[in-house]
Amino acid sequence: MNITFEEFKKLQIRMGLIIEAERVEGTDKLLKLKVDFGDEKRQIVSGIAQFYAPEKLVGKQFPFVVNFEPRIIRGIESQGMILAINSKEKVVLLKPLKKVLPGSVVG
């Protein structure tokens, strides 16, 4: 399905710094992330626990879509989505080659 450039421009993708990460109790797949975007901090729930240990993510930067409507996942509000490559066997997180300021706009 194709989208227009105008539709794509509606996405707000910003770099976030993970400052806390923990497994969501009672699940094998979910992590609860606290992410610093420079001007604000957000909580994001992501289905990456099978591929990434929470302690390995703290202090790392990744791109996030930040303008999705908040969503409740297993009783926890998620305020965005981490960007990743989802292949058949694993999930690979996207990350910059160099550190950037939290909140930097991708695009």
Determine the pLDDT at residue 42.
Answer: 98
Determine the pLDDT at residue 107.
Answer: 83
| Euclidean distance between CA atoms 40 and 25, whole angstroms | 25
Q: Which domain holds residue 18?
A: 5-93
For residue 101, being part of any structural domain is answered with no
CATH of the domain at 52: 2.40.50.140
pLDDT in tens, 74-93: 999 999 999 999 988 899 99
For residue 98, being part of any structural domain is answered with no
pLDDT in tens, 28-46: 999 999 999 999 999 999 9
Determine the pLDDT at residue 102.
Answer: 97
For residue 44, being part of any structural domain is answered with yes
For residue 106, being part of any structural domain is answered with no
For residue 99, being part of any structural domain is answered with no
Counting the structural domains of the chain, the total is: 1
For residue 105, being part of any structural domain is answered with no
For residue 100, being part of any structural domain is answered with no
